[in-house]
Structure 1
């Protein structure tokens, strides 16, 4: 297994129109193995942080089973517009495709797939909030749609938030921590991504005292 600190702004694999992607550079991550590593899951183009790769076929099968069973613990940080009244809670809103012509755009849809996200406020200030989010399911754009549905769109979200403001701001969503239970008799393998530079100022204003990525 490899865990990358994915930068925002690059797709993990080529889209219908092609273009650069992380997959195009995986050959440099073989580290002596005959095959290139492959994605065990996915992150949105504009999401940064922990991205898990399997180094060979057997590893990918195991990792795929863990992700599918919901056994991989994923923790995200987001900066959102708006201030939740409560300090924590759970969003249980099913999601479905908004429009087949819009690719992966999603919406709350009672007839859609189950989608559940636990959230906790880590900081508030200036009309914004710093949230810790733990998705129990892995639906496309789940965190982004759930936050927007509750009135707290993510800063920099051009699809579910303020499109005009997002045109000059990168999405403020970080896959902060991943914990993978690779071995039944050992603690889960954990990896933590540093705060990317484009989120540093916003998080500092909300109380984050750590150091951003160089």
Structure 2
């Protein structure tokens, strides 16, 4: 069963297709997370693989795991140095006025006792840059390909809602929250010095197909 989630594997890296609804790390309100299932991805190794980055609980798709601590540090450095190429597919609750562009909006975190925490535009926050283009328009909604330069928490969700003025369909925090959130980590590629690149493509999940976007040319 678990091998069906593997998109790429070699001696130091695994890319899995993380299902929506599963958190990467445990938390105070998280009953289960990927950590509960990492032992299924040993594939003969004694060490558990470690997630190198995060995907939101409700985001599906490519997630990179490192199979040893040295690789983990090297892969994290590659993310920090923007040497990892990522492409996300999102369906928006509307259609942008342009066909493509770049969103450059720094982000910060706010928290209240009533609503909990969320990410907001903040001129003094961390730099966040997302490139985007429209891949298709259907039934009043646009399919967007996001290629982020940075990897801030909730970056694409806030950039869609605040930068484009149109939230991602199903976003429970920054949008209407009706139905599943349609955000998918479609591609991941990381160049390595002494090995072939880590490269993976995650097929669209059933939520996109059920919403009528399964046949879009990405």
TM-score in same-fold range (> 0.5): yes
**Aligned mates of 1:152, 1:115 — CA distance in 2:** 18
The aligned counterpart of 2:99 is 87
Return the offset for 1:28. 1.5
Q: What secondary structure sits across from 1:105 in the alignment?
A: strand
The aligned counterpart of 1:194 is 203
The reply on whether 1:161 has 2:175 as its aligned counterpart is yes
Return the offset for 1:104. 4.7
2:23/2:30 contact within 8 Å kept: no
**Aligned mates of 1:52, 1:176 — CA distance in 2:** 12
The aligned counterpart of 1:178 is 188
Deviations 1:47-81 (A, max 9, x none): 00000000011110111110111110010000001
**Aligned mates of 1:86, 1:199 — CA distance in 2:** 23
Return the offset for 1:31. 1.5
**Aligned mates of 1:52, 1:181 — CA distance in 2:** 13
Number of matched pairs: 204
Structure 2: where are the runs of 5+ without partners? 1-12
Cα RMSD after superposing both structures? 1.8
The match for 2:69 among 46, 57, 71 is 57
Q: If the length of structure 1 is used for normalisation, what is the TM-score?
A: 0.89
Return the offset for 1:110. 1.1
The match for 1:120 among 117, 133, 154 is 133
Deviations 1:159-194 (A, max 9, x none): 00014xx2xx1110000000011236x663210000
**Aligned mates of 2:145, 2:30 — CA distance in 1:** 33
Deviations 1:112-146 (A, max 9, x none): 11110000100012210000001101110000000
**Aligned mates of 1:155, 1:70 — CA distance in 2:** 28
Structure 1: where are the runs of 5+ without partners? none
Alignment CA distance shift 1:87-1:78 (3 Å): same
1:73/1:179 contact within 8 Å kept: yes
Q: If the length of structure 2 is used for normalisation, what is the TM-score?
A: 0.88
**Aligned mates of 1:106, 1:98 — CA distance in 2:** 6
Q: What secondary structure sits across from 1:35 in the alignment?
A: coil
**Aligned mates of 1:103, 1:59 — CA distance in 2:** 35
More strand per residue: 2
The aligned counterpart of 2:159 is 146
Moved over 2 A (4+): 100-104, 186-189, 201-205
